Amino acid sequence: MRFVIQRVNHANVKIDGEVVGNIGHGLLILFGAGQDDTEEMLPKYVDKICKMRIFEDENGKTNLSLADVGGELLIVSQFTLYADCRKGNRPSFTNAGAPDMANALYEKFVAMCRERVPKVETGRFGADMKVSLENDGPFTIMIDSEDF
C-alpha cells in the first residue's frame, strides 16, 4: 500500500461538480493498493497514521496526533500512486492492485479509520475526482508498505 498524507487546513473532493467529501483541519490521505497488499496489513497503517505526531503543539513543535487536535480525515483512492515511470514516457500501472481487490482494501481502510476518527469523509473509488486542499505547512508524508 502507498499513502500520501497531507496535513490540511481544509480539503474536499468533487465528482461531477458535486462535493462528496469535505473536511476542515486534519489529513488528506491518498490511498493506493498494490498487487501484493492484504487486509492483514491494514491495522498497522491505520494505527501509524492515527498516532503520527505531525500537528503543532503550543510551542510550534510537531508533537500532536490527529486525535490530539480533533482532526478529520478525507481519504481518496488513487491507483496512480503505483505508477512505474522507469521505462518510456507513459507510466505503467501493472503494479497497482486489481480494482476489486484494491476497492475492498480501500473500503476496509476507511471503515477502520472510522472506528478511530469521528469524522472521515471519502471520494468514490474509480471515479474522476477533483481534489482541492489547503496544505498546512506544507506538510506531506509518504508511507509505502515496501518500507516496512
Catalytic center residues: 78-80
Report helix angle 42-51 to 99-114, nearest 10: 40
In sequence order, the 6+-apart residues with CB closer than 8 A to the CB of 72 are 23, 24, 25, 26, 27, 117, 118, 119, 120, 121
